[in-house]
């Protein structure tokens, strides 16, 4: 005879869905895993909640870099780069993530093909961001 917990466990096991659901961003990237990895590590899924502008983030990054506070500068370059992706500004994306690479040593896949990554991010924002 099964105990109460055994019944629960058995029922839960059969109810678990085994298929993997993919995110909207994965759908947009399709088979391009490199662009997906580049975006998942750099873009904000809802940049409207950041609470600062790209310009202010870039100014903070430069200020902290001058003060030799490189961890803070790196974080602000990351924010500025994410906001540049949201704005669709490829030139600024390259600028901010290059600066972040320079001061932190962190490599960013988005710099391999920023035009494609920004285009996919723009499509994501157009489809899924409630603005």
- DSSP-derived secondary structure for 29-41: HTT-HHHHHHHHT
Cα radius of gyration rounded to whole Å, the chain: 20
Q: Quick one: CA dihedral 72, 104, 54, 82, positive or negative?
A: negative
Structure tokens at 59: 């100014």
Q: Is the pLDDT of residue 8 over 60?
A: no
Q: d(Cα 8, Cα 56) in Å, to the nearest integer?
A: 53
- Looking at residue 85, its pLDDT comes to 97
Q: Is the pLDDT of residue 2 over 90?
A: no
Q: Give start and end residues of each alpha helix (H) in 4-53.
A: 4-15, 24-29, 33-40
Q: d(Cα 29, Cα 27) in Å, to the nearest integer?
A: 5
- Looking at residue 10, its pLDDT comes to 53
Q: Is the pLDDT of residue 3 over 80?
A: no
- Quote the Cα angle for 17-22-26, to 5°: 170
Q: What is the mean pLDDT of residues 69-80?
A: 97
What DSSP state is assigned to residue 19? S
- Looking at residue 23, its pLDDT comes to 85
**What are the tens digits of pLDDT across the range 23-65?**
889 999 999 999 999 999 899 989 989 999 999 999 999 999 9
Q: What is the mean pLDDT of residues 14-23?
A: 50
- Predicted TM-score (pTM) of the model is 0.80
**What are the tens digits of pLDDT across the range 102-126?**
999 999 999 999 999 999 999 999 9
């Amino acid at each position: 005879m099964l105990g109460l917990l055994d019944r629960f466990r058995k029922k839960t096991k059969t109810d678990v869905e085994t298929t993997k659901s993919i995110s909207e961003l994965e759908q947009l990237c399709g088979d391009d895993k490199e662009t997906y990895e580049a975006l998942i590590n750099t873009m904000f899924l809802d940049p409207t909640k950041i609470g600062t502008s790209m310009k202010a983030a870039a100014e903070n990054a430069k200020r902290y870099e001058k003060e030799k506070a490189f961890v803070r500068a790196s974080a602000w370059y990351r924010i500025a780069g994410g906001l540049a992706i949201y704005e669709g500004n490829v030139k600024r994306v390259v600028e901010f993530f290059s600066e972040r690479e320079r001061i932190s040593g962190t490599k960013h896949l988005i710099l391999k093909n920023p035009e494609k990554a920004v285009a996919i991010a723009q499509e994501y924002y157009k489809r899924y961001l409630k603005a």
